[in-house]
Chains A and B, each alone.
Chain A
Amino acid sequence: MTAQLVTYSLGAIYSAMVVYAFAFIAFTLDLARRASTRRVEVSVAAPVTVAATTATAGSTAVLDRPDSAAPVTPGPEVPARSRAARLGMSFTIIAWVLHVGGTVLRGVAAGRVPWANMFEFSLTATAIIVGVFLVVQLWQDLRFLGAYVAGFVLIFLGIATTNFYVDVVPLPPALQSGWLVIHVFVASLGTGFYGLGAALSVVQLVQQRRMAKGLRFIASVPDPDRLETMAYRLIVVGFVFWTFTLMAGAIWAEHAWGRYWGWDTKEVWTFIIWTIYAGYIHARATRGWRGSRSATLALIGFGAVLFNFTIVNLFFKGLHSYSGL
């Protein structure tokens, strides 16, 4: 029974990855269209040809548009809704449903929450990133981030399934606690919000660089100020979750290890990340730091999150050695 559920779960995850790949292609085409409405750039146009060879018939049809309706009229009168973006969103939703299904099945197979080791944590955290991305769409068009989100999640799921995969095993006594449900889940929520915030900061920096070069902004992508505000709102939510993770972790550590803070490597890195993002929030309130500097801090912060999850988990010694690898 368990073995069967595990197989279904993996099947769903692999299927989700395939659909995410389609979503990535569609969103990349959309990006190319957004850029080409101003001026066709070789680097941005490149994915179009790649996509043309790999995409299915459905998405090849989409190709016609950017080519034929192409860059005659530069300017912001690009329709906000393009077929490529719509297709990307549809693919993302389908992939996300498969993704969540696979994650839930994994939890059912294990008879517990699906975030007790690195593999499961990767499934859950990436599902949350996509979930937040989809939910935020309801009041804020973020489809220009679609390529980033789909690409990032695809890569992460790829690494998780090939490098982090572990069989379903029972929880060791140290993890048998209600705090596993809360602490780790909130950590993955925080990671999801930080990830999207970092994505917006990347786009912000790109826009700002274009501005510095005297180029116009990429049409139909918000201007840097707007991007910064959106990134800030997401990161602030991530920061609240991260603060909670830190505190819940301390309470759990007190229960399991007998002290609430012991400078364990994972505790150190959680603290470092917290401090960097606290710095980010202060940077936003400091004259001369708003703009590209605070955006860079947001990227450093998310870099630390990724470092904490991968390098610290795999290569550093400490009490949080639950990767299962």
Chain B
Amino acid sequence: MDSHRPSDHYDNDAPEKPIAQPRLGVVGYLRFFWRQLTSMRTALFLLLLLAFAAVPGSLVPQITSDPNGVIQYRAANPGLSKVLDALGVFNTYTSVWFSAIYLLLFISLVGCVIPRTKHHLDALRAQPPKTPARLSRLEGFRATAAAPLDAEGVAGAITAARQLLRRSGYRVRVLSGADGDSVSAERGYLRETGNLVFHAALVGILISVGFGGGFIYTGQKVVVVGQSFTNTLSDYDSISPGRWFNPDALARYSLTLTRFKATYESQNVHAIGSPTDYTAYVTTSENGGAPKKQTIKVNSPLTLGDTQVYLLGNGYAPVVTVKDPKGTVVFSQPVPFLPQDANLTSVGFVKIPDGLAKQIGMIGLFYPTECDPSLCGANLASVHPDLLNPVLALQVYQGNLGLDNGKAVNAFALNTDHLTKIAGFESANKVPGIDLRLGQTKQLPNGLGSVTFSAIPRYASLDIHHDPTQLWALGFAVLVFAGLITGLFVPRRRVWVKAVRRGDDVVIEYAGLARGEDPGLDAAIAEIARKHSQQLGLTMNS
């Protein structure tokens, strides 16, 4: 038990045969459980259990990373979903059982690391241990041929060994015993330091993620070219704040999307139309300061105030203008459409509650490049994501949009429960849908008015994050990595050099002891022996 590692650590001696133990009191039992929890076997079990417990979350969609997938999964497997819901599998990584496993693992880790740290701090101040009586039993043992050294010669040999070992980074201690003078040396304390730093830094990551999570917020905003975003709570499309989020503390800035450039491959026949670059050109202003021109790309977010602005998506926002029969404009604005495929076939919803004789809702499909009907048939399809031949196809509904009862309404859906289709496939009055090319105007059915496809700007879908834990997590991750490397690869070893008297002669013996994995021990001792014996002019006894 010399390193204060758990009792079942490989480096510790195997336990004696179980002895009849006295009855344990409450404290005894607590101590017993604590020892069990901090044993190597438990840590190993919890590690493997954690790996195993992470699996279901990859098989079933997760609410945090794939909410739509969860909705689809629930619809497809209603029975199973109830069981999974009860078990929290849709939220595996925040579920009670998953948290319990990693918290137990970390308690076990802390319980293991604290006594070791204490022990290591003592070891760092302690002297190397006494030289064992018989070095020949140890690893890498070798000795010089007997040489007639006097007391002064022995002292010189010991001094030389001490200097040699010290220069090689060993902590040294000179001892003199009945069987001869010796140098005891130890090196590689960094191994245990690295090991402890690794484990402590893992705790650091857990704390910075767990505790710092309360200060994080993540918001989304769709910005059409020409529009602006101001970093205030009301201007976000959606926001998920952490526990300690303070809306008054939002950094003061605004940004205007002046241009959005999408570049598509045009040369490579295997990849015509695949995107090669997205760039959002923005003008920003912080704290009401002078406007600055900046860009946001997919892999290079923009830092504004204490937030990062990411370009996570883009699409088209057709400008739809609706006029009443008298020609008065009742609706005219860009409507962001959601892309459905790689060729940016997009879906969007136009809602006109006021201004016309009836409430009007429209479901639009937008095709940036309509396929030639001679190639693709009568159904519209997009064959390229760029605006080569844009068509907007609208299906029109009239009736009650359900906007008046004050409930929050999803902008990317149309509730058709109280609506009648008046234009489009299988509409009540057999009127076909309205297909518009850019700049075209067509009449709405029932003399409701007209609709114009006036312009087709792009939009950028921005994610705005504030995450003060990032740097902490990164710092701890660097420590984890540094600790891992030193903990695994710095050899910790003890080396002894001893002058043993054999009658009138003296033999210098060398040997070592590995503390943990140490493939280079033998070579290291050979090297020390070679240098030392050469320095003294002795020959090695092979």
Interface of A with B (CB < 8 Å)? 2, 167-174, 176-177, 179, 229, 232-233, 236, 239-240, 243-244, 247, 250-251, 254-265, 268-269, 271-272, 275-276, 278-279, 282-290, 297, 312, 316-318
Of B41-49, B125-133, B229-237, the one contacting chain A is B41-49
Contact assessment for B485 and A286 in the assembled complex, using a CB-CB cutoff below 8 Å: no
- Of B12, B44, B58, B265, which is within 8 A of A269 by CB? B58
Are A289 and B270 in contact, CB atoms less than 8 angstroms apart? no
Complex interface: chain B residues within 8 A of A265 (CB): 58
A169 touches which of B58, B268, B298, B299 (Cβ 8 Å) = B268
Check B299–A276 contact: CB distance below 8 A.
no
What's the least CB distance linking B306 to chain A, in Å?
Answer: 15
- Chain B residue, CB-CB nearest to A175: B299
Q: Per-residue 0/1 for B311-322: is the Cβ within 8 Å of any A Cβ (1 yes, 0 no)? A: 010000000000
Q: Is the CB of A275 within 8 A of B51?
A: yes
CB of B93 within 8 A of CB of A173, answer no
Query: A168 near B270 (CB under 8 angstroms)?
Result: yes
Q: Is the CB of A257 within 8 A of B312?
A: yes
Task: Contact check, A176 vs B299: say whether CB atoms are below 8 A apart.
Answer: yes
Contact A174 B473, beta carbon cutoff 8 Å: no
Max chain B Cβ within 10 angstroms of own Cβ: one of A167, A174, A272, A284: A272
User: Is B143 close to A, CB under 8 A?
Assistant: no
Binds A, one of B61-69, B169-177, B417-425, B492-500: B61-69
Q: Are B477 and A247 in contact (CB under 8 A)?
A: yes
Which one of B243-251, B275-283, B427-435, B447-455 contacts A? B275-283
- Known pairs A276-B51, A286-B44; list 17 more (Cβ under 8 Å): A169-B270, A170-B271, A173-B275, A173-B278, A173-B299, A240-B484, A243-B480, A247-B480, A258-B465, A260-B470, A263-B92, A264-B65, A268-B57, A272-B54, A275-B47, A286-B40, A317-B61
Q: Report B's interface with A, CB cutoff 8 A.
A: 8-12, 14, 40-41, 43-44, 47-48, 50-51, 54-55, 57-58, 61-62, 64-66, 69, 92-93, 209, 218, 265, 268, 270-271, 274-278, 297-301, 308, 310, 312, 463, 465, 467, 470, 473-474, 477, 480-481, 484-485, 488, 517, 519
Nearest chain A CB to B116's CB is how many angstroms away? 13
Selected contact of B301 from candidates A255, A285, A289, CB within 8 Å: A255
Q: A269–B265 Cα gap in the complex (Å)?
A: 33
Q: A260-B470, A276-B51 are in contact. Are A250 and B10 (CB under 8 A)?
A: no
On chain A, the residues within 8 Å of B277 by CB distance are 173, 176
Question: Which chain B residue shows the least CB distance to A259?
Answer: B465
4 closest residue pairs by CB, A with B:
A167-B270, A169-B271, A275-B51, A173-B298
Q: Are A279 and B470 in contact (CB under 8 A)?
A: no
In whole angstroms, what is the CA distance A74 to B153 when docked? Answer: 53
Q: Is the CB of B298 within 8 A of A285?
A: no
**Residue on B with the closest CB to A180?**
B299
Chain A residues whose CB sits within 8 angstroms of the CB of B470 once the complex forms = 254, 260
CA distance A247 to B10 in the complex (A): 30
Contact of A285 with B48 in the complex, beta carbons under 8 Å: no
Query: Please, which residues of chain B bring their CB within 8 A of the CB of A287?
Result: 8-10, 12, 14, 40
Q: Give the chain A neighbours of B65 by CB distance below 8 A.
A: 262-264, 318
| CA A254 to CA B218, docked complex, whole Å | 13
23 residue pairs A–B, Cβ–Cβ below 8 Å: A169-B268, A169-B270, A170-B265, A172-B275, A173-B275, A229-B519, A243-B484, A244-B481, A255-B301, A256-B298, A258-B308, A262-B64, A263-B64, A263-B93, A276-B48, A279-B47, A279-B51, A286-B9, A286-B10, A286-B44, A289-B41, A312-B58, A316-B58
A271-B58 Cα distance, complex, nearest whole Å: 11
- From known contacts A247-B477, A284-B10, A285-B40, infer whether A236 and B55 are also in contact, taking CB-CB under 8 Å: no
Which of B10, B62, B310 gathers most chain A CB within 10 Å? B10
Of all chain A residues, the one with the shortest Cβ separation from B469 is: A260
Chain A nearest CB from B210 CB (Å) reads 12
Give complex CA distance A275, B62 in Å. 21
Q: How far is the CA of A14 from the CA of B96 in the complex (A)?
A: 52
A176 and B44 contact, Cβ closer than 8 Å, known pairs A168-B270, A285-B9, A287-B8? no
Chain A min CB distance to B498 (Å): 29
Set of chain B residues within 8 Å of A271, measured between Cβ atoms: 54
Query: CB-CB < 8 A to B463: which residues of A?
Result: 258
Determine the chain A residues whose CB is within 8 A of the CB of B69 once the complex forms. 317
| Residue on B nearest A254 in the bound complex, by CB | B470
Q: Closest CB of chain B to A139's CB: distance in Å? A: 10
In chain A, what residue has the closest Cβ to B14?
A: A287
Q: How far is the CB of B303 from the nearest CB of chain A, in Å?
A: 12
User: Is the CB–CB distance between A256 and B465 below 8 Å?
Assistant: no
A236: contacting residue among B44, B278, B488, CB under 8 A = B488
Is B54 a contact partner of A170 (Cβ separation < 8 A)? no
Residues of B within 8 A of A176 (CB): 277, 298-299
Enumerate chain B residues within 8 angstroms of A317, measured Cβ to Cβ. Answer: 61, 66, 69
User: Among the interface residues A255, A260, A282, which one has the most CB atoms of the partner chain B within 10 A?
Assistant: A282
Query: A312 vs B57: C-alpha distance in the bound complex, in angstroms?
Result: 13
Assess the B54–A233 pair: CB atoms within 8 A: no
Q: Assuming A254-B470, A255-B300, A282-B40, is B481 touching A173 (CB within 8 A)?
A: no
Chain B residues within 8 Å of A232, by CB: 517
- Closest Cβ of chain B to A185, distance in Å, is 17
| Residue with the greatest number of chain A CB neighbours at <10 A, chosen from B55, B65, B93, B277 | B65
Known: A263-B64, A312-B58. A174 touches B10 (CB 8 A): no
Give every chain A residue within 8 A of B62 (Cβ-Cβ): 263
> Which of B11, B47, B218, B278 interacts with A258 by CB under 8 Å?
B218
Contacts A254-B470, A257-B312, A287-B10; A170 near B268 (Cβ below 8 A): yes
> Considering residues A177, A259, A264, which has the most beta carbons from chain B within 10 angstroms of its beta carbon?
A259
| Complex alpha-carbon distance, A269 and B58, angstroms | 8
Given the known interface contacts A243-B480, A258-B218, A286-B10, the answer about A268 and B54 at a Cβ–Cβ threshold of 8 Å is: yes
Quick check: A258 and B64 within 8 Å, CB to CB?
no
* In the complex, chain B residues whose CB is within 8 Å of the CB of A262: 64-65
Residues of B within 8 Å of A240, CB to CB, are 484-485, 488
Find the B residue at minimum CB distance from A265. B58
Which listed residue (A251, A255, A276, A288) contacts B8, Cβ 8 A? Answer: A288
The answer for the CA separation of A322 and B270 in the assembled complex, in Å, is 16
Q: Which residues of the partner chain B approach A179 to less than 8 Å between Cβ atoms?
A: 299
Q: How far is the CA of A290 from the CA of B517 in the complex (A)?
A: 13
A272 — which chain B residues lie within 8 A by C-beta?
Answer: 51, 54-55, 58
- Give Cα A265–Cα B61 distance, bound, in whole angstroms: 9
